[in-house]
Amino acid sequence: MLKRPAPDALPAPLGSLFMRLPGWLWRLFTLTVLLSLATANPLPTALCLLVLPVLILASWRRGEVPVLTFGLGWQWLEVTLPVFWADVQGLPVTDTTLLPWVGKAIWLSLIGLVVLAAGVYAGLRISSRRWRWEASGSIDANWNLSRLFRLYVAASLASLLLFALSGVSEAIRQPLLTLAGVHWVFFFLLLLTVLRSKRGYPLLAAVTGWEIVASLGFWSGFKTPLFYLVLALFTVDSRLTFKRLAVGSAFVVALIFLGCVWTSIKGPYREFLNEGTGQQAVLVSPGQRVAELGHLLAGWSLEDLPDGLERLAERISYVEYFAAVLGYVPAVVPYQNGLIWRTGVENLIPRLFWPGKPALNDSDITRRYTGIMVSGANEGTSIGIGYMAESYVDFGPYGMFVPIFLLGILWGGIYAYFVSRPHPAAVNYAFAVTALMDSVSVETSATKIVAGLVLGLLFLGLLLRYFMPKVEAWLSAGSVPAPELPVEQGLAGERGGKAVGSTKSLQHLNY
């Protein structure tokens, strides 16, 4: 049992442990904001850029996995992309859509992001009163890589089995799908171990490639393993240098290119997967999937790039449905006084104990609160308005920020819980990333986000506490020590003239 640490052993104040942006990045950021004033949307573009450092500074603790920052950053991109895309076209953002409320939707979403970031920061502060932890900038990687790979394969096979079983009965579908995501824990552990130990790069490439290919199902979440890879890179080395910015920018460009290609071919590819039935299902073998994908890629050319880029921008941005909601609520449909968020909380009750629990479909919510007859389950798709728009539907333009702030507190609390456990840093980070990754998008519905986070906390928390100690001991057998890496300058705070932090591992102080 861990005891309360002596006063001089307490970590540095919470605020001193957050990421500090280097001077060159502030200068580059200032220049970008000044240049934005010459765009077609000077004020919206400048404000979109000004929000970004706020999100970073409120959520990224130095030397730790930046999953909270990643989640906020991805939502920032979903909100701001319509403005940037309008700038590229040289048009006011209001001229790029038939919905006159798009400007208001962007403002409310930007404020919502700042409120969400404030909730994350508050969640970290509240959690720090119960759990104390320190970031050392070091990742324990002296594990047996062969055993870790075998564990990853076993977890992946178990995930496939659980996913298949989830379709047997609706009563157990939700818990089984949550458990099926556990294999991402071991995928992230494998990434961290290879990157930190600087050995096994061919294995890393093979495993990442497999995850991309395996994700080519109906929804083709090929970007998910790439997101995990980016998080692993910044976890192992969080230094913000110009070189890393250049490499990161090149990676983003490559990801955008892949997104353009996928957006261009996903229509016929999905029709091939469901054999024209319109179902959200894969009815062909993996070999047929790969063959058809190769056929579609062979028919793609650079002439398709502009159309793919425009469609990708429309797909990532998620404010047009919010704009449609603003024109429909409360003019046609009144505010719902918490109905949608209440449904999300009720969704925590498993169907096993509530056989009559109504099925949730995002498209139904979109039709009800926008008046737009979007495609739904019968057409093999699901289109939602996102949790920010749903917060507006429930509580109006002012009250909507209350559930968003509480969501931020939940984010910060879940992150703090996992990273403060008495386990190696890499294990804690893997569980924190897996618990939060599915909730990082604005398009996630409030009817699903609460249940997803709480169930993830429950199942992953139990797995971490009762299963991982034995796994860690097994992985340590026959391990190879990792090379020492320099700790980021200024990472360890100082208190009473003594350096706080260690180059060995996280100091977990739980009381």
Percent of the chain with pLDDT over 90: 45
Place of tokens 């009250």: 399
Alpha carbon separation from 32 to 29, 46, 69, 76, 327 (Å, rounded): 5, 8, 20, 17, 33
Query: Where in the sequence is the domain holding 419, given as residue range(s)?
Result: 12-510
Q: Residue 249 pLDDT more than 50?
A: yes
Tokens of 103: 């400007």
For residues 308 and 257, give the distance between their C-alpha atoms in angstroms, rounded to a whole number: 9
More confident residue, 277 or 84: 84
> Average per-residue pLDDT in the chain?
83
Indicate the number of domains in the chain: 1
Q: Residue 316: its pLDDT value, please?
A: 78
For residues 336 and 347, give the distance between their C-alpha atoms in angstroms, rounded to a whole number: 17
- Domain membership flag for residue 111: yes
For residues 282 and 275, give the distance between their C-alpha atoms in angstroms, rounded to a whole number: 8
For residues 152 and 211, give the distance between their C-alpha atoms in angstroms, rounded to a whole number: 11
Q: Residue 6: its pLDDT value, please?
A: 40
Contact 189, 153 (CB under 8 A): no
Q: Residue 192 pLDDT more than 50?
A: yes
- Of the segments 152-156, 218-222, 316-320, which one has the largest average pLDDT value? 152-156
- Domain membership flag for residue 310: yes
- Domain membership flag for residue 6: no
Contact 11, 493 (CB under 8 A): yes
Average pLDDT, stretch 265-290? 76
Phi, psi dihedral angles at 20 (to 5 degrees): -115, 125
More confident residue, 487 or 117: 117
Q: Residue 189: its pLDDT value, please?
A: 94
Percent of the chain with pLDDT over 70: 84
- Domain membership flag for residue 4: no
3-state DSSP: the chain helix, strand, coil percent, rounded to 5?
Answer: 65, 5, 30
Read off the DSSP letter of residue 22: -
Q: Residue 57 pLDDT more than 90?
A: yes
Alpha carbon separation from 485 to 125, 197, 430, 470, 503 (Å, rounded): 29, 10, 20, 27, 9
Average pLDDT, stretch 222-251? 85
Q: Residue 268: its pLDDT value, please?
A: 85
Angle at which helix 320-328 crosses helix 362-370, to 10 degrees, equals 50
Alpha carbon separation from 282 to 79, 176, 223, 277, 291 (Å, rounded): 31, 19, 19, 10, 14
- Domain membership flag for residue 367: yes
Q: Residue 508: its pLDDT value, please?
A: 33
Q: Residue 117: its pLDDT value, please?
A: 97
> What tens digit of pLDDT does each residue of 20-56 get?
888 988 999 999 999 999 999 999 999 999 999 999 9
